[in-house]
């Protein structure tokens, strides 16, 4: 996908009346969508859609009580690069994201949700709807046929990602997520300049990965707790990171709690956490796609804690780092079912594959959002 387009729909009298209901489907508008629907969005579609839906209202369709489709509208506060033009004009409301299960795509549910969401935008006083960042020609044709959408803005995807971001990685262990980033940079899908690795574990395999990738600075900063205070170590760590002047700091399996002063000095820091975290940073529980809930499992032993609690689910989240541990804004997340009698090693093996996709997807989102 080398290009993206923004589409415009005129919110004229076509969108005044509500479309007829569909048999067997319950449709309701929520602001924002309920937590089960948001978790289902992550499970069914991945990416960053749940956090985008959380920022707006959604028309949600259920069959037999389970979500089968949604259309988000009037999301606020999103910072994507493609929302810096027409999206800022008076009278323009945002439509999307929008998704249905495969089983529902052959019927009329998609058109129903689209019409309901566009009608809701009109009711809120908008004159036009912006359908943003469409990269599939089939979708462009669908919106043209179903809503009279026309192309209003075109973007080169690479240009939207911007220049290469000077990036420092912090890792304490195996470094498989680090390797996923290295591979994506090498393949050209992530415009990062990987300038340094900092590790607090001299045995970390991440060190070997960095050297094999030709990363210029590899620094091992161990903490001898009996001979150095935490404040002294944190100062040493801060100086090592600051010396590299990173635009982006990636915590990829970093096992040392960073002080608030560090977090505030490097506001563009992202962390991969092996749990399905709630979108509400204040919540200590998270709802799953099946409607059940579990603790948020923050902290350094998330998978072990989930297994000890006999949870049916785990997951992974890439989030922005804030002074509150594992409570930063979510960029991408995905739940994962734990199989019956599955041990920690098996869970981690499957979870790492999800993490690798989330890391690259979340960094891509950060690149699209940076100013």
The pLDDT, as a whole number, for residue 371 is 75
**CA gap 283, 327 in Å, rounded:** 9
Both structure tokens of 196: 């340094």
The reported pLDDT for the residue numbered 21 is 79
Cβ atoms 155, 134 nearer than 8 A: no
pLDDT of residue 180: 98
The architecture (CATH level 2) of 160-369 comes to 3-Layer(aba) Sandwich (3.40)
| Residues whose CB is less than 8 angstroms from the CB of residue 33 and which lie 6 or more positions away in sequence, other chains included | 41, 53, 54, 58, 60, 70, 72
- 97 CB burial (10 A radius; 0-12, 13-18, 19+): buried
Enumerate the domain spans of the chain.
3-157, 160-369
Which residues of the chain register pLDDT less than 50?
none
DSSP 3-state of 232: helix
Between helix 344-369 and helix 176-187 the angle, nearest 10°, is 40
Let me know if 235 is exposed, middle or buried by CB neighbors in 10 A (0-12, 13-18, 19+).
middle
Question: Of 279, 277, 287, which Cα lies nearest the Cα of 40?
Answer: 287
Q: What is the pLDDT of residues 163-187, one digit of tens each?
A: 999 999 999 999 999 999 999 999 9
Beta bridge partners of 209: none
What CATH superfamily classification does 3-157 receive? Gcn5-related N-acetyltransferase (GNAT) (3.40.630.30)
Are 177 and 272 in contact by the 8 Å Cβ rule? The answer is yes
State the number of CA atoms in the 13 A half-sphere of 64 facing the CB.
2
């Amino acid at each position: 996908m080398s290009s993206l387009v923004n589409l415009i729909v005129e919110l004229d009298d076509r969108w005044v009346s509500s479309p007829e209901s569909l048999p067997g489907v319950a449709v309701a508008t929520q602001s924002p969508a309920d937590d089960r629907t948001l978790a289902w969005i992550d499970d069914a579609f991945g990416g960053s859609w749940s956090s985008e839906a959380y920022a707006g209202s959604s028309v949600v369709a259920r069959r037999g009580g389970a979500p089968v489709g949604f259309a988000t509208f009037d999301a606020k506060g999103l910072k994507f690069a493609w929302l810096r033009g027409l999206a800022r004009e008076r009278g323009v409301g945002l439509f999307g994201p929008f998704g249905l299960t495969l089983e529902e795509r052959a019927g009329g549910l998609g058109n129903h949700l689209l019409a309901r969401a566009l009608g809701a935008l009109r009711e809120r006083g908008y004159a036009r709807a912006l359908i943003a960042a469409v990269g599939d020609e089939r979708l462009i044709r669908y919106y043209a046929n179903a809503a009279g959408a026309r192309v209003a803005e075109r973007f080169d995807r690479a240009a939207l990602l911007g220049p290469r971001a000077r990036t420092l990685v912090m890792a304490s262990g195996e470094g498989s997520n680090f390797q996923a980033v290295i591979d994506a940079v090498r393949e050209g899908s992530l415009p990062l300049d990987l300038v340094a690795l900092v590790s607090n574990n001299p045995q970390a395999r991440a060190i070997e990965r960095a050297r094999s990738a030709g990363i210029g600075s590899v620094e091992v900063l161990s903490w001898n707790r009996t001979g150095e205070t935490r404040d002294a170590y944190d100062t040493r760590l801060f100086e090592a990171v600051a010396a590299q002047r990173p635009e982006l700091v990636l915590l990829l399996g970093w096992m040392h709690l960073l002080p608030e002063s560090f977090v505030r000095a490097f506001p563009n820091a992202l962390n991969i956490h092996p749990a399905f975290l709630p979108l509400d940073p204040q919540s200590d529980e998270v709802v799953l796609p099946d409607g059940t809930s579990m603790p948020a499992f923050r902290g350094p032993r998330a998978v072990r804690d989930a297994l000890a609690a006999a949870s049916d689910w785990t997951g992974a989240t890439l989030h922005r780092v804030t002074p509150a541990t594992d409570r930063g804004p979510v960029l991408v997340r995905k739940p994962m079912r734990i199989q019956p009698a599955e041990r920690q090693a098996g869970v981690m093996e499957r979870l790492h594959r999800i993490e690798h996709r989330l890391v690259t997807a979340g960094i891509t989102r950060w690149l699209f959002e940076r100013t």
